[in-house]
């Protein structure tokens, strides 16, 4: 499957908000509960840019998106949603990997994830570690798994050529 990841556009705010709600519905939540999530899942045009939104496209159609928020050293993987029709096909993995690269580029050392309870196995499969629980911002009393993923900084470029200060090659320089 040829998934293209690209920056989200401000004019896609409504499309992405709808996508998030539809994706959340994949877990079988009631209409009432989905309605409680609606405000938290809504993106404004300025959010799309401010949250470093990246979208996944499949054959020209947006099938998912991810956001990376915050400032170094700790960022939030705030939203990661795949359309129900595409779930289970690797789109989430591509978006997650992209988010990690975005976080690395922004100098983050870790990403925090307030996970939907149903999505915890996915994040664990991505290497995230459960560090606790947090209360949902949408539904009072609803506990959400809190996970973290460490971001390894970009390593210093390896030096090429022989180490400095040492003669190599066995040449006889004595005489
Ligand atoms: C969570 C979500 C983004 C994962 O995206 P996805 O495209 O379905 O994930 P992938 O296909 O890349 O899965 C990668 C791996 O994660 C694991 N995984 C994914 N979903 C899983 C599940 N429900 N249970 C157990 N493991 C799961 C598997 O190991 C899988 O690898 P495999 O298919 O080779 O076995 C997607 O299910 C989704 O959008 N869910 C609804 C909205 C949601 O809850 N978003 C998260 C909000 S915090």
- pLDDT tens, 15-71? 999 999 999 999 999 999 999 999 999 999 999 999 999 999 999 999 999 999 999
pLDDT higher than threshold 90 for residue 80: yes
Per-residue pLDDT, 159 = 56
pLDDT higher than threshold 60 for residue 13: yes
Calculate the alpha carbon distances from 12 to 19, 65, 92, 99 in Å: 10, 11, 19, 19
Check residues 66 and 173 and name the one with the higher pLDDT. Answer: 66
Domain boundaries in the chain? Answer: 3-150
Tokens at 128, concatenated: 């995230």
Per-residue pLDDT, 158 = 53
Please give the distance, rounded to the nearest whole angstrom, from the Cα atom of residue 99 to the centre of ligand 1: 15
Please give the distance, rounded to the nearest whole angstrom, from the Cα atom of residue 79 to the centre of ligand 1: 13
Please give the distance, rounded to the nearest whole angstrom, from the Cα atom of residue 122 to the centre of ligand 1: 4
Residue closest via CA to ligand 1's atom 48 equals: 115
pLDDT higher than threshold 80 for residue 166: no
Query: Is 0.85 topped by the overall pTM?
Result: yes
> How much is the mean pLDDT over the chain?
90
Calculate the alpha carbon distances from 72 to 104, 106, 107, 110, 121 in Å: 10, 7, 6, 9, 26
- Tell me phi and psi for residue 144, to 5 degrees: -120, 140
CB atoms within 10 A of CB 17: 20
CATH code for the part of the protein at 3-150: 3.40.630.30
Tokens at 23, concatenated: 């994706």
Judge if the beta carbon of residue 92 lies within 6 A of ligand 1.
yes
Judge if the beta carbon of residue 125 lies within 6 A of ligand 1.
yes
Check residues 46 and 141 and name the one with the higher pLDDT. Answer: 46
Per-residue pLDDT, 81 = 98
Question: CB-side exposure of 132: number of CA atoms within 13 Å?
Answer: 3
Judge if the beta carbon of residue 100 lies within 6 A of ligand 1.
no
Judge if the beta carbon of residue 80 lies within 6 A of ligand 1.
yes
pLDDT higher than threshold 60 for residue 160: no
Q: What percent of the chain has pLDDT over 70?
A: 88
């Amino acid at each position: 499957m040829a998934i293209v990841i690209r920056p989200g556009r401000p004019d896609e705010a409504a499309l992405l908000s709808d996508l998030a709600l539809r994706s959340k519905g994949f877990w079988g939540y009631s209409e009432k509960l989905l309605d409680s999530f609606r405000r938290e899942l809504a993106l404004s045009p300025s959010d799309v840019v401010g949250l470093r939104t990246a979208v996944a496209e499949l054959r020209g159609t947006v099938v998912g998106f991810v956001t990376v928020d915050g400032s170094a050293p700790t960022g939030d993987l705030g939203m990661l949603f795949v359309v129900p029709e595409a779930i289970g096909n690797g789109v989430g993995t591509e978006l997650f990997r992209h988010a990690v690269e975005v976080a690395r580029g922004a100098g983050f050392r870790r990403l925090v994830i307030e996970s939907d309870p149903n999505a915890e196995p996915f994040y664990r499969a991505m290497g995230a570690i459960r560090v606790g629980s947090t209360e949902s911002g949408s539904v009072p009393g609803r506990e959400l798994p809190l996970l973290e993923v460490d971001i390894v900084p970009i390593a210093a470029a390896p030096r090429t050529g022989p180490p400095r200060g040492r003669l190599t090659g066995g040449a006889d320089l004595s005489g």
